Structure 1
Amino acid sequence: MTAALPEPESTLPFLPYGRQVIEADDIAAVTAALQGDFLTTGPLVGKFESALAATVRAQEAVVCSNGTAALYIAAKALGLKPGSKVIVPSLTFLATASAPHLAGAEIVFADVDPDTGLMRAEDFEWALARAGNADAVFNVHLNGQCGAIEAIHEIARRHGLKIVDDACHALGTSYRLGGAEKMVGENALSDMTVFSFHPVKTVTMGEGGAVTVNDARLADALRLHRNHGMTRDAEEFETTEDAFERPGHPNPWYYELVEPGFNWRATDIQCALGLTQLAKLTRFAARRRALAAAYDSLLAPLKPALMPVAHTECLPTLHLYPVLIDFAACGHTRTEVMARLRDEGIGTQVHYYPVHRQRYYADRYGHTDLPGADRYYARALSLPFYASMVLSDVVRVAEALRRVLHL
């Protein structure tokens, strides 16, 4: 289980819960981009989009400035607007709910499995019943795992909902469908998939996001909403007097506003880094799986007071390694545990405070009883987990947990 891991000693006195892995070729690629002709949108944008689409087996990828922007342009591409309703599991980062809400939709929060943090089929159906009707579901692949995606797909299609997979944690994750391996991002069971390339993700662009899609019309809509809601496509021009010198000859300077929007474009600098990082996905994924297996083994004796988040039936490339701790049984609050681990040079984090409990949404929609999300949150703690960790780091964290929790 641990033989494949290298054995050098860790050089970090403090282990953060997550961090980027930047190597010499990454730095060289960014330097070359800085010395090139384009700093913002240039040829590296298209190259990264092609590489990402090929990696996850999607027909197209549309890259943008960050994962939140990716969620937003996905919502706009679906035509979400005031009066729309979107189902979102409560155990996620704010952006999964706030992006479609900023596009105009109202959010209906779904509960999750208390041991995985993932939305189950029954959670989805219960949220749909509360909503009365809905237009889309933004399903979250929390920590890098995907849950009941086949059941959620069947329910969504039966009710006429579009499906956006929030896979900001799940680049490199795959699952079985009808005996075949499918990549998260391939969109075998969704309309679009959203990724993030924040520094603590498996692959980073510094900041960056993307949407993968197999529908050319949706891809065009994503590009429109990435770029101010404006078009330079002459076939879409309607103000013909200003757009054309004469029929069939558009003015080369002309562009037309279809719908006011924002600048969510990615830069060539970001995509230069993204390209070199994406080429390392297989290596990074293998290391994360080996580290997760080491954690699973070393933490097994600490059950039931401490348990790793339950495994699902996918092959995950984990973004986070969370554990579920019975803090009351251990005689310490979570804040105390985090402080004592920090004193030992170990950083931790909580993913996430349930979004339905956030002040804005609680004020807007009132109290929603989501016991699964509340129970997951009450026990969750994310441990150090990134591709440059070594086995001695995992041993150090496990031993510190045993001491701090008196297990």
Structure 2
Amino acid sequence: MKIIPYARQDVNDQDVSAVIEVLRSDYLTQGPLVERFENSVKSFCHAKAAIAVNSATSALHISCLAMGVKSGDIVWTSPISFVASSNCALYCGASVDFIDIDPLTYNISAMALEEKLISSALQNKLPKVVIAVHFSGQPCDMETIFSLSQKYGFKIIEDASHAIGAQYKNLAVGSGQYSDITIFSFHPVKIITSGEGGMILTNNLELSKKCQLLRSHGIESISGELNLHPSKEIWNYQQIDLGFNYRMTDIQAALGLSQMTRLSDFIAKRRTLAARYDILLANFPITTPWQHPDGLSAYHLYVIRLHTDKLKKGQHQIYDELRDLGILVNLHYIPIYLHPYYVKMGFKRGYCPEAEQYFSQALSLPLFSGLNAEDQELVVASLKQVLQ
């Protein structure tokens, strides 16, 4: 039986050679490749600064810290995301709340956000930061979110872990037109990979400097930036803040830098596959992904919604039967607040009705740049067999 995963990295001989070259060099970490990788992503997105780290989770964490998120603050995000999108605020001692999703894009609903801001302003409980998650690679309604931030005084992080290569209003996601910081992920199931890894993009050079400091123990090593000891001695590095070991290695950066040369090809292939799914699945009792005309999705995921009211099988049975056939569909995601850790905070079912409705119907079909037409047809045939 052939196994088709929902996602898979695309690593070629060029990528392998790039990594081997680093392994034979003088620097496995803290060498020149990290900066080259940062410059490549920065240039692609037309941002002023890029800071590579060891994961998107680390990127989210130090971005919140750089923005001053602390105990007593509130951070809002989408319930349909990986838990890192909200955990990052908890790491800082802040509390977390959730905005329900748009039923078409599955991103934060701008209308729900505005309604929550109006009521929260009356209670003096406005968020310090809103983390807008570009779910599946489709950009959020960033222009509206930015407009609301100007009115209500919150900062914006774009969690674009799914969305490198996406566009919003003809600008690359990561350009920072409507946010303070953008985060990318380079986990193996993402559009490009560095094995593990993440990156912070910003046009705010003060935030950039703070994130650079926090990713490496809070240590400063630029001679002009060092402070004098009481004894008037200056050494080649000093810890001036409490930071973390969140650095990316040159091994990871070499792989990421090599993958960047194929990013446009990866995105084009994903969009072609998604368009073909749209055609092949047109008469199925499902809803295929809808794309907002303001954006171009990077198609990290291809999520369908089952018309459960028209099917004799439930979502879980369909999921199990597809996997039994070797089609390793997945579910992205359980609403964050329904995880046991968050339930203990007091969150309950019914908190975000659209997110929960989505959760009861969604399945992610296989989509990755190496998926060929024959395998895609096998996915569709298997889905047809199970639904019948």
Is 1:363 the counterpart of 2:344? The answer is yes
Deviation, structure 1 residue 116: 2.3
Q: Percent identity?
A: 35
**Counterpart residue number, 1:394:** 376
Alignment-mate amino acid for residue 287 of structure 2: M
- TM-score, with structure 2 as normaliser: 0.95
**Counterpart residue number, 2:230:** 241
Residue range with higher mean Cα deviation, 307-316 or 72-81: 307-316
Among candidates 50, 53, 69, match of residue 42 of structure 2: 53
Among candidates 257, 263, 275, match of residue 240 of structure 2: 257
Cα distance between partner residues in 2 of 1:34 and 1:127? 51
Is 1:309 the counterpart of 2:289? The answer is yes
Q: Any idea what SS the aligned residue of 1:388 has?
A: coil
Deviation, structure 1 residue 128: 2.5
Is 1:322 the counterpart of 2:297? The answer is no
Is 1:173 the counterpart of 2:166? The answer is yes
Deviation >6 Å, runs of 4+: none
Deviation, structure 1 residue 49: 0.4
Is 1:208 the counterpart of 2:197? The answer is yes
Cα distance between partner residues in 1 of 2:309 and 2:329? 18
**Counterpart residue number, 2:147:** 154
Is 1:342 the counterpart of 2:323? The answer is yes
Does the CA-based 8 Å contact 1:87-1:124 persist in structure 2? Answer: no
1:281-328 deviation line (CA, Å, top 9, x unaligned):
0110110000000000000111xx211122212111110111001235
Kindly report which structure 2 residues correspond to 1:221-300, keeping only aligned pairs within 5 A, or say none.
221-238=210-227, 240-242=229-231, 244-245=232-233, 250-252=234-236, 254-258=237-241, 260-300=242-282
**Counterpart residue number, 1:6:** none
Residue range with higher mean Cα deviation, 187-196 or 111-120: 111-120
Residue range with higher mean Cα deviation, 387-396 or 209-218: 387-396
Q: Any idea what SS the aligned residue of 2:230 has?
A: helix
Cα distance between partner residues in 2 of 1:64 and 1:343? 37
Does the CA-based 8 Å contact 1:308-1:323 persist in structure 2? Answer: yes
**Counterpart residue number, 2:8:** 19
**Counterpart residue number, 1:3:** none
Alignment-mate amino acid for residue 114 of structure 1: P
RMSD: 1.5
Deviation, structure 1 residue 52: 0.6
1:190-249 deviation line (CA, Å, top 9, x unaligned):
11100000001110001000010111111001111111122224555445225x43xxxx
Alignment-mate amino acid for residue 257 of structure 1: I
Among candidates 107, 125, 128, match of residue 117 of structure 2: 128
Alignment-mate amino acid for residue 358 of structure 2: Y
Alignment-mate amino acid for residue 251 of structure 1: W
Deviation, structure 1 residue 255: 1.3
Among candidates 91, 94, 110, match of residue 99 of structure 2: 110
Does the CA-based 8 Å contact 2:132-2:140 persist in structure 1? Answer: no
Is 1:96 the counterpart of 2:89? The answer is no
Alignment-mate amino acid for residue 311 of structure 1: Q
Q: Any idea what SS the aligned residue of 2:342 has?
A: helix
Does the CA-based 8 Å contact 1:175-1:183 persist in structure 2? Answer: yes
Alignment-mate amino acid for residue 347 of structure 1: L
Q: Any idea what SS the aligned residue of 1:301 has?
A: coil
Does the CA-based 8 Å contact 1:20-1:201 persist in structure 2? Answer: yes
Alignment-mate amino acid for residue 296 of structure 1: D
Does the CA-based 8 Å contact 1:53-1:60 persist in structure 2? Answer: yes
Deviation, structure 1 residue 329: 2.7
1:64-85 deviation line (CA, Å, top 9, x unaligned):
0011011111111111111111
Deviation, structure 1 residue 365: 3.6
Cα distance between partner residues in 1 of 2:115 and 2:74? 14
- Where structure 2 has 5 or more consecutive residues not aligned to the other structure, the ranges are none
Q: Any idea what SS the aligned residue of 2:175 has?
A: coil
**Counterpart residue number, 1:380:** 362
Is 1:29 the counterpart of 2:18? The answer is yes
Cα distance between partner residues in 1 of 2:194 and 2:200? 15
Residue range with higher mean Cα deviation, 96-105 or 355-364: 355-364
- TM-score, with structure 1 as normaliser: 0.91
Alignment-mate amino acid for residue 193 of structure 1: T
Q: How many residue pairs get matched?
A: 382
Cα distance between partner residues in 2 of 1:65 and 1:78? 20
Q: Any idea what SS the aligned residue of 1:240 has?
A: coil
Alignment-mate amino acid for residue 265 of structure 2: R
Cα distance between partner residues in 1 of 2:77 and 2:116? 9
1:86-117 deviation line (CA, Å, top 9, x unaligned):
11111111000001221122111110013321
Cα distance between partner residues in 1 of 2:208 and 2:102? 33
